[in-house]
A and B are shown apart, each in its own frame.
Chain A
Amino acid sequence: MTVGISATATVSVTGLRVGYGRRVVLDGLDLELTPGVHGLLGPNGAGKTTLIRVLATVARPERGRVRLLDEDITDRAALRRIRRRLGYLPQDFGFYPRFTVREFVEYFAWLREVPRAEVPLAVDRALDRVGLLDRADDRMRHLSGGMLRRAGIAQAIVNDPRLLLLDEPTAGLDPEQRVEFRALLRELGIDACVLVSTHLVEDVGTACARVSLLDGGRLVFTGTTEELVAAGVDGGSGDSPIERGYTAVLRGARAEQR
């Protein structure tokens, strides 16, 4: 079926370049993301975190155009509108140790400008979705690593974001929690654009419809999970089909560059 109307992308990046001092982290990167769950794969140091920080409007592009939710991030008023609809969980995030879990999530509900009347319900709903409602009044410093990560996810979804950026969200989660997390991801991906960076290839295979692969600051692959698997049919090493696809694409990209 072809209907002659194409969706506008939630994320549209063209010619993105980011560097720190003389080191170039991302160069000439183009990326389009539509609603759904997208995996962002790549070896350590490939630029995943930097890309996510740019999309979270925290890091600043040196060059290139970044449009989020149909608006340009260089426009100040638009930036504020974008940030209201943005959820972000950095890889390492601190917390104020005296905060309870509920206060932590509530703080971000206010910071993300959730309408006043909706704050209490939004906070408890977010806590419920990550299974932390019965720990809501515990202090942050008493939480285990996995629970902290879940509190982090709760603050990221408290404003019902249209664009949700999660940097290594499964770190610290045990296998059972990872399964639960993937179910939540699929649910969130129904009406939001969710970008999940991970170095665990298996996370991508089960939860993400589309995958992008970064290597050395460049986008070396973007497509469906099936297409990544297909790339590894002849060649590539690894224990699962998707791992073989991952290594095959990386090798191909590196050979090309030489």
Chain B
Amino acid sequence: MTGTHLDDGVLRAYAEDRLADVDAWSVETHLDRCPLCRGRLPLDETTGRIVAEVGAALRDRLTVADPLPRPSASKPAGVPTPAPAGWARPGSAGRSRRGRVRPGTRWRRSAVLLGAGPAARAGWLGSVAVTLALVAAVAANIAPVKAWVLLLVAPVLPVLGVASSYGRHTDPLHDLVASTPYAGLRIVLWRTLSVLAVAIPMSLVAGAVSGIGVPGLWLLPSLALTVLTLGLGAVVEPYRAGIGVAVGWAVLVLAPVGGDRLVAPVAVPGWLAVVAVAVLVAGARTARDRMRGEVTG
């Protein structure tokens, strides 16, 4: 017992009938006059299940009785919503509910997690626009834009997207996200997926237009550099990892040995090796540092 209320252990013991009679009586005396503790009394398994079932049945009934307003494209403009007088008004849920309530499905979850590409979204959409402009310029044969510029830009697109998608410097909600079960690698992978969904087609288009190497092989450096950024992102801040990888890529492309070999069949084992190393780096880091649960500190 703590202060004037029963503590959890006592309540649990009482609910499970583990208390001596004398103790149980005094618990009951307290429960009689204390609604707070009554509310905290844990339910036994059967009762809990019944309550849950009744709740589920009622919920379905309520949805039928109170059909949600369909999404309306045109919200009545200029009609100010009256501000609530207080904020926890019981029972106001059904009445003032409006707008779009989406059912909780697996699809909806994916849509939310993918679509919430945070501040990063502006960043990678920008780089997609740049690539498109370059592709157009190369396709139209505008003199100052050479095909190798595409090779320089397209494969690092997802890298920049991934680098700017996680970490306290680029995500305004970083602290909050870091306190959820999705923190760390899981949310990073979701965001990477959303970036790749856009960047991979870009890479293919750029490869086809540029005429350098095999277009399909442009995917390899894109993916390998992304995985490398993820791996390094487990060690340093993701945005630093991204900058490092981008610079490294630029050096390779501009090196005198010929950037076109980077997207030729001869480079395939090299890229696979890069992926393997990146996975090892991330794995070693995770093993050493299991507590952290996030990719950055």
**B-binding residues in A (CB < 8 A):** 1-3, 5-8, 34-35, 53, 56-58, 60, 73-74, 76, 79-80, 83-84, 86, 88-90, 93-96, 99-100, 102-103, 106-108, 110-113, 115-121, 123-125, 128-137, 150, 155, 176-177, 180-181, 183-184, 187, 190-191, 209, 224
Contact = CB atoms under 8 A, between A and B. Distances in A.
Given A111-B187, A116-B109, A76 B291 contact: yes
B112 interface: yes
B181 A177 contact: no
Name the residue among B39, B87, B177, B178 with the largest chain A CB count within 10 angstroms.
B87
Given A121-B59, A181-B87, 17 more contacts: A5-B7, A5-B10, A57-B179, A58-B175, A88-B176, A96-B118, A112-B180, A123-B101, A129-B87, A133-B96, A134-B82, A134-B84, A134-B98, A176-B86, A180-B86, A180-B87, A191-B39
A94 B172 contact: yes
A180 B86 CA distance: 7
A96 B86 contact: no
A150 B291 CA distance: 31
Contacts of A57: 178-179, 293
Contacts of A136: 97-99
B93 A125 contact: yes
B272 interface: no
B70 interface: no
Contact of A88 (B9, B59, B179): B179
B106 interface: yes
B100 interface: yes
A137 B119 CA distance: 21
Given A58-B179, A120-B102, A150-B87, A5 B13 contact: yes
B297 interface: yes
Nearest to B176: A93
